[in-house]
Amino acid sequence: MTADLEDLKKRIRTQYLGRGGIHGVGMSRSRNVVRLYVNDASDLDPDLLEEVTKGVSPFGLEVIKEQSPSATKPRTSISKQRG
């Protein structure tokens, strides 16, 4: 069943990533759910949400509100000076 959940996550990622504010797709094996990561859950189109919910059946769906990762990360460097 874990393989089925992994395959489903890949299919959902291919079909929905980048649509309707979805910036990430994950899963939880222990909860048997596919997770959608969105910046703001209220921006998620209800019709799209219903479509994804039907698409993940018989597994569950969780919508996680989380900021998308930034393309530019500040670099932190530590340099030692020889004395």
- How does residue 68 score in pLDDT terms, banded at 50, 70 and 90? confident
pLDDT at residue 66 in the model: 84
Closest by CA to 43, choosing from 61, 20, 62, is: 20
Whether the per-residue pLDDT at 81 is higher than 80: the answer is: no
How would CATH label the architecture of 2-65? 2-Layer Sandwich (3.30)
Say which residue, 79 or 29, is predicted with more confidence.
Answer: 29
In the chain, what are the domain boundaries? Answer: 2-65
Q: Which residues contact 41 (CB under 8 A, 6 or more apart)?
A: 63, 65
| Phi and psi, residue 61, nearest 5° | -135, 135
In this predicted model, what pLDDT tens digit does every residue of 1-51 receive, in sequence order? 567 999 999 999 999 999 988 999 999 999 999 999 998 877 788 999 999
Predicted TM-score (pTM) above 0.95? no
Whether the per-residue pLDDT at 75 is higher than 70: the answer is: no
| Contact criterion met (CB below 8 Å) for 40 and 15 | no
